Amino acid sequence: MKTPFEENHDLIRWLDGEMSPAECAAFEATLQNDPQLAAEAAEMQKLSLSLKEHLPAELPVPHADFFNSQIQVRIAQLELDDARAASQRSESAISRLMQWLRTPWFFGAAATALLVAGFAWLQIGAASGTTAILSSYTPNPTVHAETFHSSEAQATVLMLEGLEPIPSNQPITGFNVHRAEPDAEMASTTLFDASGSVLLVMAKDARGQPQILK
Amino acid sequence: MMNEEIRMTNALRTPKTAWRSISALLLVSSFVLLHSSFSPAQQPAPIPAVKPATDGQVWGALIFAVNDASKLTGSAEKAPEHQKDLSQRLAKVFPYQHFEILGQHLQDVFREYESWVVPTRDLFLKVDSKGTAADGGLNLHLQVWRQQQVLVKTDAVLHARSPLFIGGPKWRDGQLIFVLESRPKK
């Protein structure tokens, strides 16, 4: 014989449809033999249906936009933390290298190496110190990005093909921005001109798209 | 004796003397208020502005390239000293004769925050620092935005004196070009 607690537990599982077919059959047989339990089951079933009818299945999240933007800001901060940790690891490797460079025999070897390197640099030009594109992605499939280095212009070029032209009647007014101040709490950046006057405020909406506020 | 003192005090409280007392009280109160609220020595110390950490600095500009000089906008923006030969360098890549700076922006690259390079409202750049590259360059994630639309996302290593030219959309018989260059760290 089951205790009232066990019967209630079974009743809840039966109402929630959590019983196996065998358990369900056994419990329904119990219900037929126990009018009091059957009445309680009918009452709870009625209550459950009423609740389902009157309560929405989903509730809107209050201030969803702000919530989303804060999560995005936090994710961005975590990514930057990871990048900084990787940078610090490389700095410690550099400090070990510096210790090795302080050894006495190094200076003679370094002078010879400098002569050779200087000669080579004059011959082939400075290949390092050139801006490089590591990867690029154009979300719009009609736009293509082509990358190359122009030694004549001494510049790296990222050419975007397939862009929609800007209408001729649309004026483009430029700024001369000298300084910016980020505001972590507001997730925005204020841009200033040379005299310290505010030119505009950059922020992002819930979708991460930039918003120019002034 | 006691009654005499009370009589004398009451005698002193004529309307004229009462008015003088009130005036004196007001004067003293004003003095105290002025010195407690507006004296620079008593002002609360300003909150120290903590300058955010940076990984470097970039200079960005939006250039209008066109063949017909009469189509130039007449922008007064001048190239900085280190970019005096910018037009000649751009002409090596883009098939135009005239190059005009529409807007420019000198921007610190924040280590912990995103940075924006906004020479114009129409075309601007979002910059996220990824630290210093092994060869000393500035490792960046860049996004070129045209108002609400991202045109390209790219990872790049920028070096001083080696600009990045981004060929943008066509506009008024010409083309818009975004120039981005890393500036040597101070």
pLDDT in tens, A35-83: 888 888 888 888 888 877 776 655 555 556 655 666 676 776 777 777 7
Is the Cβ pair B132, A87 closer than 8 Å? yes
ipTM for the whole predicted complex goes beyond 0.95: no
Report yes or no on A171 lying in a domain. Answer: no
**Residues in chain B with pLDDT values less than 70:** 1-49, 185-186
pLDDT given at position A127: 46
Residue A131: what are its φ and ψ, rounded to 5°? -60, 135
pLDDT given at position A56: 60
Mutation choice for A interface testing from B99, B162, B180 by most A CBs within 10 A: B162
pLDDT given at position A113: 59
Residue window 3-32, chain B: list those with CB within 8 Å of chain A.
none
pLDDT given at position B48: 47
pLDDT given at position B36: 45
Report yes or no on A120 lying in a domain. Answer: yes
pLDDT (mean) for A184-205: 88
In terms of Cα–Cα distance, which of B73, B33, B81, B85 is closest to B176? B73
Report yes or no on A37 lying in a domain. Answer: yes
> In whole angstroms, what is the distance from residue A23 CA to residue A29 CA?
10
Report yes or no on A32 lying in a domain. Answer: yes
pLDDT given at position A91: 65
State whether residue A164 sits within 8 Å of chain B by CB.
Answer: yes
pLDDT (mean) for A7-36: 85
- pLDDT band with cut points at 50, 70 and 90 for residue A122: very low
Is the Cβ pair A132, B134 closer than 8 Å? no
pLDDT given at position A121: 44
- pLDDT band with cut points at 50, 70 and 90 for residue A10: confident
Q: Which residues lie below 8 Å from residue A202, measured CB to CB, with a gap of 6+?
A: A188, A189, A190, A191, A210, A211, A212, A213, B116, B118
Of A158, A174, A210, the CB nearest to B103: A174
Chain B neighbors of A158, CB-CB under 8 A: 152, 154, 164-167
Does one domain contain both A72 and A108?
A: yes
Report yes or no on A170 lying in a domain. Answer: no
Residue B105 or residue A114, greater confidence: B105
Residue A44: beta bridge partners? none
Considering chain A, what is the average pLDDT of its residues? Answer: 78
Does one domain contain both A145 and A194?
A: no
Report yes or no on A44 lying in a domain. Answer: yes
Does one domain contain both A95 and A118?
A: yes
Query: In 10 A of CB B183, how many CB atoms?
Result: 19
Does one domain contain both A134 and A120?
A: no
Is the Cβ pair B156, A168 closer than 8 Å? no
Is the Cβ pair B155, A156 closer than 8 Å? no
State whether residue A159 sits within 8 Å of chain B by CB.
Answer: yes
Does one domain contain both A120 and A68?
A: yes
Of A134, A174, A177, the CB nearest to B75: A174
User: In terms of residue numbers, what domain contains A31?
Assistant: 4-54
